[in-house]
Amino acid sequence: MKRIAIYPGSFDPITNGHLDILKRASKAFDEIIVLIADNSNKHCRFSVNERLEMIKGAVKKMDNVKVDSTKGLTVKYAKEHGAKFLIRGLRAVSDFEYEFTLNAANEYIDHDIDTVYFMSTTGHNFISSSYIDSLYSSGVDISSLVPESVVKMYKEKK
């Protein structure tokens, strides 16, 4: 039986912290779908298509990783695609409360889908998409914090 996992998020933009978790998770699962949550209530700098392009560029050498988006619930997408696991990252204790609540809601919707947590490695635990955006907007070089496809997209967005 193929072990399929979903790695959901807004990924606005994807960071090297996200990629670190994805690389480690790709050793544990046969297939991972990086799933962009298309939430119209959330303001994003990049469109879903731009984020898809960024992520595809960042994962092109990862054979067991696919990229997709959904407007629906992640657990419903997971069930439709035969995934039994959700991948989530934890950077700090402050992430735990949010993830605990999210896990409870997901479990309520579908108790057959488990969430697997990966701790950020040292050096990636301060990186967040909003922090990246703030740094870039302030003129700080973000190239060591994000994949090249993200830097390229920021430059094109100017």
Catalytic residue among 18, 51, 88, 124: 18
Question: Would residue 45 show up in a list of annotated catalytic residues for this protein?
Answer: no
Considering only the top CATH level, what class is 4-157? alpha beta
**What is the per-residue pLDDT for 122?**
75
Nearest to 35 by CA among 98, 79, 100, 101: 79
Domain ranges of the chain: 4-157
Options 2, 27, 40, 42, the catalytic residue? 42
| Lowest mean pLDDT, pick from 42-46, 50-54, 68-72, 103-107 | 42-46
Q: Are 110 and 83 in contact (CB under 8 A)?
A: no
Whether residue 125 is predicted with pLDDT greater than 80 in this model: the reply is no
Residue 10, pLDDT above cutoff 90: yes
Core vs surface per residue 59-92: b (16+ CB within 10 A) or e: beeeebbebebbeeebbebbbeeebbbbbbbbbe
Model confidence, pTM: 0.92
Among candidate residues 23, 24, 91, 152, the one labeled active-site is: 91
* pLDDT, tens only, 12-58: 999 999 999 999 999 999 999 999 988 777 788 999 999 999 999 99
Residue 18 annotated to the active site? yes
